[in-house]
Amino acid sequence: MDVLDLPALRRRRSRRQAIVAVVLIAIVLGASVVAISLGASGITPARVFATLAGFGDRGDEFVVFRLRLPRIVTAIVAGFAFGLAGSLFQSVLSNPLASPDILGVSAGASFAAVFVLLVASGSGFAVSAGAFVGAFVIAALMWVLAWRGGLVGYRFVLIGVGLGYVVTAALGWMITRADVREVSQALVWMVGGVGGASWSDIGIAAGIVLVSSVAIIALGRRLPVLALGDDAARGLGVRGAVSRGALLLAAVALVAAATALAGPIAFVALISAPIARALLRDGGAALLPSALIGSALVVVADLVGQHVLADSVPVGIVTGVIGAPYLLWLIATSNRKGADG
């Protein structure tokens, strides 16, 4: 076959994308159904479908809609947001380490939430709101500090790392000074969990994720052009700084919403995009697949944490334990030339 047969290449590429997307959606839905059917009162998958379609009995309806579905939807929404945000950060700043965890955005959210918990003695919605504000404040600081007539990847990353350390130190200070039992509570939040959200929390977060995603779809076509550098992008009629800014703003909104909803389930943003790119192998940003990988990771991890492991382990711990070895393996076996970080 002719190597320069671009239309054929493109067809094969989009077929691969479609297959990957369908498989991932199937994994998310399958794991969701399993998660809803498992628990103290078991419900067969058939009854799960019937209940979701509105034909369930009252007991099943209570278990599904009140107890288990919020958890699943939280996992799907948070995972989607973390995966998409991680992929955006990494491709906009062209740095595989530019994930919200490392850039201090998650740490900012954690700091604000733990501040609300430990210092202001707040709970529930106040903690989520704190996390949301914290993520944005850190991102805004990073922006102001990194801006110098443009936004260059390495500078943004380094400043994010620096701010992350400050926030982590402040977090350490609060943790050494507060009452040990309250610190324990804060740790539970900091590790990330999907069990606590109400439908109204989920609604707010899902709304933010939806708006951000639409904005990202509209801007996403510029990503390949941005990858060429600001000068080349300008030549092609794309204003690099503005596009980068808008995309990163959307990514921060995603991280803020997801963290406010489920806590900093740290690993998902970092690892989703590398997995998605390994599946697609087309060198692109793989935005949608990254988001779907994020959802799949969180849903499956929560399933494992709740039902496979003994003591209902928080999802953030499971994602770390199952995700990190995969990333390590990916790094060890990767053949790609990783030039300068």
Q: Which residues bind another protein (CB under 8 A)?
A: 96-97, 99, 101-102, 145-146, 148, 154-155, 157-159, 161-163, 165-166, 168-170, 172-173, 175-176, 180-181, 183-184, 187-188, 190-191, 266-267, 270-271, 313-314, 316-317, 319-321, 323-325, 327-328, 331-341
Please give the single-letter amino acid code of residue 276: A
In the complex with another protein, the residue whose CB is nearer, 29 or 161, is: 161
Contacts of 164 (CB under 8 A, 6+ apart): 102, 103, 104, 107
Output DSSP code: residue 150. Answer: S
246 in Cβ contact with 215 (< 8 Å)? yes
287-303 and 69-92 helices, crossing angle to 10°: 140
We find the least distance from the C-beta atom of residue 56 to another protein, in angstroms, to be: 35
In the complex with another protein, the residue whose CB is nearer, 172 or 229, is: 172
We find the least distance from the C-beta atom of residue 331 to another protein, in angstroms, to be: 5
In the complex with another protein, the residue whose CB is nearer, 98 or 204, is: 98
We find the least distance from the C-beta atom of residue 31 to another protein, in angstroms, to be: 20
- Give the whole-angstrom CA distance, residue 233 versus residue 308: 49
We find the least distance from the C-beta atom of residue 165 to another protein, in angstroms, to be: 5
We find the least distance from the C-beta atom of residue 308 to another protein, in angstroms, to be: 15
299 in Cβ contact with 24 (< 8 Å)? no
In the complex with another protein, the residue whose CB is nearer, 227 or 321, is: 321
* Cα dihedral: 232, 238, 244, 245 (round 10): 140
In the complex with another protein, the residue whose CB is nearer, 58 or 336, is: 336
Could you give the 3-state DSSP secondary structure of residue 9? helix
Contacts of 32 (CB under 8 A, 6+ apart): 72, 76, 299
In the complex with another protein, the residue whose CB is nearer, 6 or 144, is: 144
We find the least distance from the C-beta atom of residue 329 to another protein, in angstroms, to be: 9
